[in-house]
Structure 1
Amino acid sequence: MPNRPYTYTDFTLSVCSKCLRKVEAKIIIENECVYMLKRCKHHGMEKVLISTDVPYYELCRQFIKPSEMPHRWNTPIKYGCPYDCGLCPDHEQHSCLSILEITDVCNLQCPICYADSSPKRTTWKDLETIKKMFDTIIKNEKEADVVQISGGEPTIHPQFFEILDEAKKRSIKHLMINTNGLRIANDEAFVKKLATYKPGFEIYLQFDSFEKETLLELRGQDLREVRQKAIDHLNKYNISTTLVAVLKKGLNDHEIGKIIKWGTEQKCVRGVTFQPIQHAGRTKNYDPSTERLTLSEVRQEIIHQSEFFSSDDIIPVPCHPDSLAMGYALKLGGKITPLTSVIDKNILLEGERNTIVFESDEALRNKVFKLFSLNHSPESGFKGLKDLLCCLPKVILPNGMGYENVFRVLIMKFQDNYDLDVRSVKKSCVHFVTTDDKMIPFDTYNLFYRDDKEAYLETLREEITN
């Protein structure tokens, strides 16, 4: 009997990349890669690369843990995923990271921007609206793990510090500012005031490349000097910082190892997040058919280019394994010691029910650990890696060590109209808070709910109803 040229492994639902109608999809393995095959009756067949690493894709299927729910649901189930976002009762993960956008205005107009922000936009959310958005997060989470203030460029909001004060009044473990760094580079007094919000405060700093031409293509400006000045100020005041690199295949993916190494040498940097371009918002000079990066490709480049992390050190994040991968290490006396690989997978899947205690520097270096049911932390205010990713076990470090000894690498691969997988959407844990009391997953917000896109979504909903 004739055989198909692939192995059929699974079935899911996706959307047509052209019209966003829901379609059935096969997951197949062919030529040592994982693909999604989907067919729209209006636009025909599509074949989308999902993973270049079959063993890692299969490993993600094993990183399953009981779903952690929000304390309330925001929208009913009516049209089915992904058309009911809000969160609806069919969702399978609470908000590990809640994003609050305070403005659409930006002091850059990056050719790549999922929010389509720019100096030409004029929308600023007022303080009362922002308070209500904070309240939405807290109603859902009771105690929020991580809240990220974003935009546009949030640091240019006229009530920026009042907004931070409102955040600090609420039960938020960790507060982040998503910024392009221009104000941080050019206003040291501003940075000095930011330092007063420590601990539990972090800068999420745009940092894509060391190369002029790459920055011109991604950001529209040569920002090398700006980035260095921003890091100099953040180092001076030791404000915890995550470098965020948006990746485009063939443009800056060769710089992954260099960015990691440079980050480990900065006093203020606690890690690097790599974010492949999501085909949403403004994506000039971007061809998703040739320039998309899968999570597995980024992971393979981290392993290939980095002198610190091996394949055992970059693992799926249990709350959303298809879209998140992580590696943790410790910075001790100028040495980087990977941590993730010494933690048994079952401990990770138990999450906060376990605590890992590293008793000494020597134990860290020798990767020796014991498990205890302890619930204390160093006086530095750092309460453990668990505070930064809700599904991690709590990690207790030796006395005198704190968050500044942590270094993490995280891959955040947001799905778009090409690779959207409803199974994965249901596990999304990065959510935008809206002005109408909703929490919407990052993947679907940029496809269906941002700006005027919900008008077209109503058309799709009408088709379902009729």
Structure 2
Amino acid sequence: MKSSVEIIIRTTHSLCPKCSKKIPADIVEYNNAVYMKKTCPLHGNFKLLISKHSWYYKQLTEFYFSVMPKNMKQSRFYIYLSNKCNLNCPICLLEPNQEIIPDMSLKEIKSVIEKNKSSRFYLYGAEPTLRSDIHDWIKMLKKNGNIVNMHTNGIKLENFEFLQSLKDCGLDYVSIQFDGFNDTIYQKLRGRGLLDIKRKALDNLKYLNIQTGLNVTIARGINEDQIKPILDFAIENPFIKDVSFATLSHLGDAQKNFSPEELIMPDELIDMVEQQMEGKISRKNLFLFQKFYYVLLSFLNVRRCYNFQHTALIRENGSFQTFDELFEFDKFEQNLDKYRSTIKTNRLKANIFFFLNLLTNIFSSHFLKKIRCLPLNMLLPRNIRNPKMPSKLLLVSFGTVCDPYKYDAQISRYCGQGFVIKDEKGVFLSDSISGLTLQNKHINNK
């Protein structure tokens, strides 16, 4: 039954979307939906729809805050290599091709890398492939035992020899922007037609068997209908290991070209995928997988943000089965709830309980037969993990990057993204919102 009375779920802090001042915020339930409400003394009231499904949000956030460790070492670092770009995307979170932040040198970042060996580093920018010394960056990161992932628009990957040279240096993974199968989409989101270039880049990645992720930005009224075609394409191509659907964020050039009313929260993406995939991927699938995922993160003492929801698909004869169905999570869920209750008083006991039940579930289900190669190398020490993912496994995520509208201080402290940033004082590590803040120079983050 819908309630016409607002109920406060929890209180937090956020930012004013106009002046970026830190202000109190309430997360409230109203008519079975969840909103963030906040008031700036100078700019008035703001209200953001977070979820149309209050049961999902309340149960999952309660579980999330209960099991996530308070002190976690960061293991994923984004290195902002360059402000230069060969595109002028209307939806860009940054403000490229301006002298906002000087490019950092290998010498400047060397100490940061040496203190965080055996981690995962993401090379991004504006466009990292425009760095003339990109090969040296990859070599140095690999020398220190790291996994190297490059985020790119893919334009330079149309050149086979260039991509081959990056692979020869040790590049492990490429995350490429891919917003759909229609050039009109790219003209609206990226400023020009790019479909043929994207296809050629993907052909090269496939030929060289480089692990690839598709980074998809979903914009209201432009490409919501592309979720199923992109997932179908990824399922048919095992070199694609993950698909990350992200929504517009009110940062950089995007805030100039799109209104706040066009913002989509990840929860709405889940509704879209459930509808387009005709229930084969459902909210229940994500709910069960997320609970397992949060417990696994807690067990491994790893950070991840609540604002990125995940599921996993197992490829099978041109189709797929959801990970939670294969793993029989409906039977395993009570063990996850027991972990949550046990960890409050005894973390060691909770971790032993989870590990033993995890192994029991693996060997008693059809999981081993289906996937053949366990993705449980993540349980091994980082310096001996195999960065290769099983060919049958496809990870799918639905998320958003923090901006002044969406920023939730309680969630941000678990941010899974460390930014390696350079400013006037030198190179340092920052969290997600601070990193994007510094790059854009439009949020007063003091």
TM (normalized to structure 1)? Answer: 0.77
Match of 1:13 in 2: 13
Residue 236 of structure 2 is aligned to residue 235 of structure 1: no
Q: What secondary structure is seen at the aligned counterpart in 2 of 1:178?
A: strand
- For residues 143 and 199 of structure 2, the distance between their equivalents in structure 1, rounded to whole angstroms, comes to 32
Residue 153 (structure 1) aligned with residue 145 (structure 2): no
2:108 counterpart letter in structure 1: T
> Which runs of structure 2 are paired with 1:194-273 in the superposition (5 Å)?
194-196=166-168, 201-273=172-244
Match of 1:135 in 2: 114
Show the 5 A alignment for 1:310-321: 310-315=282-287, 316=290, 318=294, 319-320=303-304
Following TM superposition, by how much is the alpha carbon of 1:24 offset from its aligned partner in structure 2, in angstroms? 1.6
Alignment partner of 1:49 is 2:30: no
Match of 2:320 in 1: 336
Secondary structure of 1:235 counterpart: helix
Name the amino acid aligned to 1:386. Answer: M
CA distance in 1: counterparts of 2:74 and 2:264, whole angstroms: 25
- Cα distance change of structure 1 residues 387 and 30 upon mapping to structure 2, 3 Å threshold: same
In structure 2, the partner of 1:289 is: 260
Q: 1:275 to 1:12 in 2, by over 3 A?
A: same
State whether residues 418 and 431 of structure 2, in contact with CA within 8 Å, keep that contact through their aligned partners in structure 1: yes
What residue number does 1:182 align with? 155
Q: 1:299-333 CA deviation, whole Å, 9 max, x = no partner?
A: 11122212642223224352445311111122244
Deviation at 1:387, TM superposition (A): 7.3
Which position in structure 2 is the counterpart of 1:450? Answer: 439
Shift of 1:180: 0.6
Identify the residue that residue 275 of structure 1 maps to in structure 2.
246
CA separation of 1:120 and 1:266: change in aligned 2, threshold 3 A = farther
Compute the displacement of 1:147 (Å): 1.5
1:164 corresponding residue in structure 2: 138
Runs of at least 5 residues in structure 2 that lack an aligned partner in the other structure: 295-302, 341-349
Q: Whole-Å Cα distance in 2 between the matches of residues 365 and 21 of structure 1?
A: 51
Post-superposition Cα deviations, 1:239-272, rounded to whole Å, max 9, x if no partner, equal 1100000111222122111111111112311120
1:309 aligns with 2:281: yes
Aligned to 2:64: 63
Structure showing the higher helix proportion among its residues: 2
Q: 2:394 aligns with which of 407, 418, 422?
A: 407
* Matched-pair contact (CA < 8 Å) for 2:100–2:439: no
Contact 1:109 1:119 in 2 (8 A): no
| Alpha-carbon distance between aligned partners in 1 of 2:442 and 2:256, rounded to the nearest angstrom | 22
Q: Pick the aligned partner of 1:441 from 428, 431, 437.
A: 431
Partner secondary structure for residue 28 of structure 1: strand
Query: C-alpha root-mean-square deviation of aligned residues, in Å?
Result: 3.4
3-state SS of paired residue (1:411): strand
Structure-2 change in CA distance of 1:439 and 1:290 (3 Å) = same
Distance 2:377 2:284 in 1: 18
CA distance 1:271–1:387, shift in 2 (3 Å) = farther
Alpha-carbon distance in 2 for matches of 1:351, 1:211: 47
Matches within 5 A, 1:367-446: 384=376, 386=378, 403-435=390-422, 436-446=426-436
Contact 1:246/1:276 (8 A) holds in 2: yes
Distance 1:292 1:96, change over 3 A: farther
Letter matched to residue 58 of structure 1: K
Contact 1:147 1:176 in 2 (8 A): yes
Q: Which amino acid aligns with 1:153?
A: E
Gaps of at least 5 residues in structure 1 are 70-91, 370-376, 459-466
- Opposite residue 263 of structure 1, the aligned amino acid is A
Q: Give the letter for the 2:315 counterpart.
A: K
Contact 2:32/2:52 (CA < 8 Å) preserved in 1?
yes
Q: What is the CA distance between 1:151 and its match in structure 2?
A: 1.1
User: Does the C-alpha gap of structure 1 residues 420 and 244 become closer, same or farther in structure 2, counting only changes over 3 Å?
Assistant: same
- Give the drift of 1:425: 1.2
Distance in 1 (alpha carbons) for counterparts of 2:236 and 2:351: 30
Find the aligned partners of 1:249 and 1:243 in 2 and give their Cα distance.
19
Alignment equivalent of 1:364, drawn from 340, 364, 367: 367
Alignment identity in percent? 21
- Shift of residue 219, structure 1, vs aligned partner: 0.4
Question: Would the aligned equivalents of 1:133 and 1:434 in 2 still touch at CA under 8 Å?
Answer: no
Q: Specify the code of the residue in structure 1 equivalent to 2:64.
A: F
- CA gap of 1:351–1:52, structure 2 versus 1, over 3 A, is farther
| Counterpart contact for 1:100–1:133, Cα < 8 Å | no
Q: Quote the Cα distance in structure 1 between the aligned partners of 2:442 and 2:44.
A: 23
TM-score between the two structures when normalised by the length of structure 2 = 0.80
Q: Shift of the alpha carbon at 1:428?
A: 1.1
Cα drift, residue 120 of structure 1: 8.4
Q: Secondary structure at the match of 2:274?
A: helix
Amino acid at match of 1:331: R
Question: How far did residue 177 of structure 1 move?
Answer: 0.5
Indicate how the Cα distance of structure 1 residues 197 and 210 shifts in structure 2: closer, same or farther if over 3 A, else same.
same
